Structure 1
Amino acid sequence: MNGKIVGAFILMTALAAGIALYVFQVYAFYEPVEASGNADVQMTLLASNQPEVILYENFEAIDAESSPIRYRACFTTTMSQPLLTETYKPYDKAVPNVAPGWFDCFNADEIGAALSSGEALAFLGTENIHYGIDRVIAVMPDGRGFAWHQINPCGETVFDGDPAPAGCPPQPEG
């Protein structure tokens, strides 16, 4: 009988730990990002290589301090894909990160498929928004837009413990 009590205790402890881990990963660390109304969505200009605010509406975003790549955002824009392509820097190898299921405006599978088929276009939002992390913007033909943070080649190398490759900005202290 004593073994059943110990086994039940271990099982209940594991179940509680699993539930807590799930809640922390999916809900606890994310917080809504308050829209500023004037600089929430920026893309890097081809001409100056500097980020510029684009026309956008219906902005909603989440972020977490626990990781620089937890940022996700959704918005709409009236700017056409041809105009965006002529004005802003494209982003190669854009891969959207999966958002929590409750942030239902951001579907990484749908965005990824649209990027793969060429239906959606990806642009550099802000390079090195955090060291080694770029903000990527994807825009669908219907004007729906999405933003997320993605590790760039400098970040991939440095985060693996290797020295930064040529052309990367200096690493921040600490």
Structure 2
Amino acid sequence: MSGKIVGIIILVSALIAGAALYYLQIYGFYEEVAAPDDGVALVSLSSGQPEPIPTEAFRAIDADSSPIRYRACFETPFSLALLTETYQMVDTDVSPRNAPGWFDCFDAEAIGADITAGTALVFLSEKNIAFGVDRIVAITDDGRGYIWHELNDCGEKAYDGTIVGEECPRRP
């Protein structure tokens, strides 16, 4: 009889822990955030500095638990032709990270498919927004835009244990 009670206690504890873990991963750490004060910025080809672009319908989420949890969606009137002539594109392989299901404007699989198909182009918004993390912006041919954070070379080295080297900035 006492073995059944112990088993039930273990089972109930496991269910509560599983539910808590699910909640924390999907809802608990995320919060909706306002648009940055300077708006959505892309790195200019001429100045090498981030410059704001016009946006509408901006939505974003972030979490303090990790520098790569930022996701945002917006719309811009700028064409891809104008963007490619004015702003720095990302020439490495990037892949949008999944967002929680409740943040329905950001579908990482669809964004990745648009990038692969060439109907979305990828731009650099800010280098080292946090140590080893770049802010990436993808914009589709119909003006929908998506933002996420991606580990850069320094971040990948730092987080996998490889020696970082002099080309990486000092970690704060």
TM-score interval, smaller chain: over 0.9
Q: Give aligned-pair identity as a percent.
A: 53
Residue aligning to 2:116:
116
| Runs of 4+ that moved beyond 4 A | none
Q: Give the letter aligned to residue 30 of structure 1.
A: Y
Shift of 1:165: 4.0
Residue aligning to 2:43:
44
Bigger shift: residues 90-99 or 155-164: 155-164
Residue aligning to 1:104:
104
Deviations 1:136-166 (A, max 9, x none): 0000111000000000011111222333245
2:3 counterpart SS class: helix
Residue aligning to 1:62:
61
1:162 counterpart SS class: coil
Structure 1: where are the runs of 5+ without partners?
none
Shift of 1:131: 1.2
Residue aligning to 1:89:
88
CA distance in 1 between partners of 2:102 and 2:132 (Å): 28
Provide TM-score, normalisation by structure 2: 0.95
Q: Give the letter aligned to residue 11 of structure 1.
A: L
Deviations 1:21-44 (A, max 9, x none): 0000100100111225x5231111
Q: Give the letter aligned to residue 159 of structure 1.
A: Y
Q: CA-atom RMSD, angstroms?
A: 1.2
2:10 counterpart SS class: helix
Residue aligning to 1:13:
13
CA distance in 1 between partners of 2:61 and 2:151 (Å): 18
1:85 counterpart SS class: helix
**Contact 1:157–1:165 (CA under 8 A) maintained in structure 2:** no
